[in-house]
A and B are shown apart, each in its own frame.
Chain A
Amino acid sequence: MIQLQHYLTIAAFLFCLGLYCVLTRRNAVTILMGIELILNSANLNLIAFSRYTTTAISGQVFALFVIIMAAAEAAIALAIVLNLYKRVNSIDVDEVDMMRG
C-alpha cells in the first residue's frame, strides 16, 4: 500500500535533485531544467496532500496552475538566455557577473 510518506519522500528526493542541479550546473539551460524538477516536486506534494487529507481537489487545481506558470516561466527564461547569449556569447552563468559589487 502506497502511503503519503512515499510520495513525500519521492518529492523531497526530486526537490534535492533539482536544487543540486540549480546550484552546481553552470549551463543556464540546465539550471532551468533543475528549476522544473523543483516545481514538479512541489506539484507532487500538492497533489499528494490533496489526495490523502481532503476530499476537495484544490491541490490538483493548484498543480495545474503551477504547470501553466512553469510553461510561461520557461518561455521567459529561455528568452532571457537567448538574449544573454547574444550579449556575452555564452550561456555559462559564471561568466555573467555584471552585477558584481
Chain B
Amino acid sequence: MLTTLVLILLMPLAAFAIQVFLGRFLPRKGDWLSTGAIGVSLALAVVAFVRSISINDPGMREVFSWRWIEVGTFRASMGILFDNLTAVMLMVVGIVSFLVHLFSIGYMHGDARYGRYFGYLGLFSFSMLGLVLCDNLLALYIFWELVGLCSYLLIGHWYEKKSASDAAMKAFITTRIGDVGMLIGIMIIFAKIGSFRYDDVFRAVADGTLSGSLLTAAGIGIFFGAIGKSAQFPLHVWLPDAMEGPTPVSALIHAATMVAAGVYMVGRLFLLFSPDAMLFIAYIGLTTAVIAASIAIVQTDIKKALAYSTISQLGYMICALGVGGYTAGLFHLMTHAYFKALLFLGSGSVIHALSTQEMPEMGGLRKKMPTTFLTFLAATLAISGVPLFSGFFSKDAILASALEFGMERPAHMIIFILLLITAGVTAFYMFRVVFLTFLGKPRDAHKFEHAHESPRVMTIPLVVLAALSIGSGWGGWFQKLNVKPEIAVYQTARMAGEETAPVHATPAAAGLDATGHAAASPAHGAGHDVHRAHQAHTIAMISSIIVAGLGILLAWAFYGRRRFSPQRAMERLRPIHTLLSRKYYFDELYHAALIRPVLGLSRAFRWFDGAVIDGLVNGSGSLTRLTSWIVGVFDNVVIDGMVNGVATAFVAGGRQLRKIQTGKIQNYLLGFAAVALVILVVRLIRGF
C-alpha cells in the first residue's frame, strides 16, 4: 500500500522534473509525459480507492510514519495517512487533474510556453496529492505553500498581459495573508504539544492538553489558511482575478482542487476546532456563500460568473463543516469538484470556439456545440441541486445539517435560511449562464459563424466529468465511508472509562446511526438524533427542490422566455446592481484601507531611510573625517613640532658647543689648569 501511495505522489513530480529540464527536447514538448504520469497516478489512485471501498470500514486508517528532522529538541516526523477521506481526495485530484491534462492538449495547442505549462501542472498535481496524503501539519503547510506557488505560476502563465501578472501577485499575496494565520495556529499547537502529527494533535485535544481559548485560537488561526486558500470572505478577492489564467487551470486549481484544499483541511482537522471556532467557521462560510452568490448574478464574463459561483459553493462547504456537517461538507467538496471542473472546462470549450469570455457576445451555441452544451447543462443541473444529480445529494445534506443545527440552537436558524436562499440564487445565476451562452439567438453573428465543436481530446474529458457530475452522488457510498470523526477515539483507555457520555466509542458505531448527517452534538441521545436528522433531512430536501425550481423558473422567465426584461429590472434596481457589479466595493475598500496606507507608510519609511538613516551614516562619516583631519593637524604641528623641536634644540646647542672644541691641545690644558687652580683656591679659602 505504501508503495502505491508513494508512487501516486512521485509520478507527477518526476514528470515535472523531466519536463523542466528536458521538456524542450521531447517530441510534442512532452505533453504525453505529464499526461501519462498523472494517468499512472490516477490508475494507482483507483487501486487505493477500490481498496478503501472493499474494506468498507469508516474507521479504516493506515499511517506510515518515519523520522524526518531531528535537530536538538526539535523533532518532526514525515508520514502518509491513508483513510477513506484520503482515498476520495486522491480520486478527485487524480481524475480532475488527468482530465485537465487531456483537455489542455487541445486548449493550449500552439501556446508559446506549452511545455512549461505541462511542467507546472505536474508540480501542482504533486503538491496537491502530497497535501491530501501527508499525516502532519508541517507537511500540510509545506504542500499548502507549494500549491499556492503553482497557482501563482499558472495564473501568471500569460505574464505578458499586465492583468495576468497582477492577478498572479494578488492571488499569491492575498493567500499569504491567510497563511500567516495558519502558521501561527500551527506554531501554537507545536509550542503546546511539541508534535505536528494529526494523531498527536487530536490526542492532545481529547485528553485536554490543548483546550480552552488556546484551542480556539489555534483553530481559528489554522482556519485563516483556509480563508485565504479557499477564497473565503474577507480574502475572497483574489479568486475572480485568478481567472486571468488559462481556463483548464481555472478548472483544476481554482475550482476543483486547490481552493477546496481549505475545505479538506477543515475536514481533516475537524476535531481540532472548538465550538467557538466552529461557529466562527460557519459564519465566515455563510457570509462568503451569500455575498459571492449575489455578485455572480450580475457578472457578464462567463469565467467570472463561474468564479463567484465557486467562491459561493466553497462558502457552502465551509459553512457545512462549521455547523458540524462533516460528511455533508466533504461530500459537497467531491461533487462540486466534478461539476465545477466540468463547468470550467465547458466554458473553456466555448471560449476556445469564440475567443471571447463575454456572455453578451454569445448565445445560441447549442446547435454548434452539442456535446459542450449537454455536458454543461448536466453540470448546471448538478450545481442547482436538481434531484438525481450529484449536487442534489450533497447540497441537500448541507441544508439538512444547517437545519439540524438551527433546530438545536434556534438563534442560528438564519444559517439555514440564508443557505436555502443562496441555493435558489445559485440555480438562478447558473441557468442565466446557460441561457445566455447556449440558448436564444446568437448575438454576435460573426463570432457565431466561426464557432465549432471542440476536438475529441477536449470533449472526452467533458463527457467523463458529466458522468461523474450525474452519478458520483448515487448509492450513499460516500456517507457510509466518511462519517464524522469522534474525539472519543483518541482518548486513552483510562479516560474513556471515566467518560459518562454515550457511546460513540468508534467511528464505526457512530456511523451506524448518523447516516451521513452525524449528530451535531454527541451529548444528545442517539435515537433522538436519528429522529431529528430524519426530520431535518425531509424538510431540507423538499425546500431545496422548491427553491431550485424557483431559481430555474426565474432564470427562464428573464433569459429564456424573456417575459421580464433583465434591462428593466436592472434600471429599477440600479443602486443594487451597481453595488453588485462593483463586487460590494471590496477591491476599492482594500485599496483605500490597506494598499494605500501601506504604500504611504513605505514611502514614509523610504523618506526616513533616505533622510535620517542615510543622514546618520553620512553624518558619522563626515564627523570621522573631520576628527581625523583635526588629529592629523595636531599630529603634524604639535607632535612632529615637539620631535623636530628637540632635534633643532640639540642641533643649535651642538652648534654653539662645538666652538669650545678648538682641537688645540693648549686651550684644553689651559682650561684644565684654570679649573685646577680654582679648586685649589676654593680649598685654600674654605680650609682642607
Contact = CB atoms under 8 A, between A and B. Distances in A.
Interface of A: 19, 22-24, 31, 93-94, 96-101
A101 B661 contact: yes
Q: Identify the 10 closest CB pairs spanning chains A and B, nearest first.
A: A101-B661, A101-B658, A100-B663, A97-B663, A99-B663, A97-B664, A23-B670, A100-B662, A23-B666, A93-B665
Interface string B664-676: 1110011001000
Nearest to A34: B669
Contacts, number: 35
B657 interface: yes
8 contacts: A22-B669, A23-B669, A23-B673, A31-B666, A97-B664, A98-B663, A101-B659, A101-B662
Contacts of B664: 93-94, 96-97, 100
A19 B680 CA distance: 15
A97 B667 CA distance: 11
A100 B664 CA distance: 7
A24 B666 CA distance: 8
A9 to B, nearest CB: 16
A94 B673 CA distance: 19
A101 B657 contact: yes
B663 A101 contact: yes
A22 B657 contact: no
A97 B668 CA distance: 12
B658 A22 contact: no
A96 B666 CA distance: 11
B52 to A, nearest CB: 118
Contacts of A98: 663
Given A22-B669, A101-B659, 8 more contacts: A23-B670, A94-B664, A96-B664, A97-B662, A99-B663, A100-B662, A100-B664, A101-B661
Contacts of A22: 666, 669
Contacts of B670: 23
B676 to A, nearest CB: 9
Contacts of A24: 666
A96 B664 CA distance: 7
B662 to A, nearest CB: 6
Given A19-B673, A23-B673, A100 B666 contact: no
A7 to B, nearest CB: 19
Contacts of A31: 665-666
Interface in B639-688: 657-666, 669-670, 673
B605 to A, nearest CB: 77
Contacts of B657: 101
Contacts of A94: 664, 666
Contact of A99 (B661, B666, B669, B673): B661
Contacts of A97: 662-664
A93 B662 contact: no
Contacts of A23: 666, 669-670, 673
B661 to A, nearest CB: 3
A94 B664 CA distance: 6
B238 to A, nearest CB: 100
A101 B662 CA distance: 6
A28 B317 CA distance: 134
Contacts of B662: 97, 100-101
Contacts of B663: 96-101
Contacts of B673: 19, 23
Most A CB atoms within 10 A — which of B660, B664, B673?
B664
B666 to A, nearest CB: 6
Contacts of A99: 661, 663
Contacts of B661: 99-101
Contacts of A93: 664-666
Nearest to A24: B666
Contacts of B658: 101
A79 to B, nearest CB: 17
A31 B673 CA distance: 15
Nearest to B666: A23
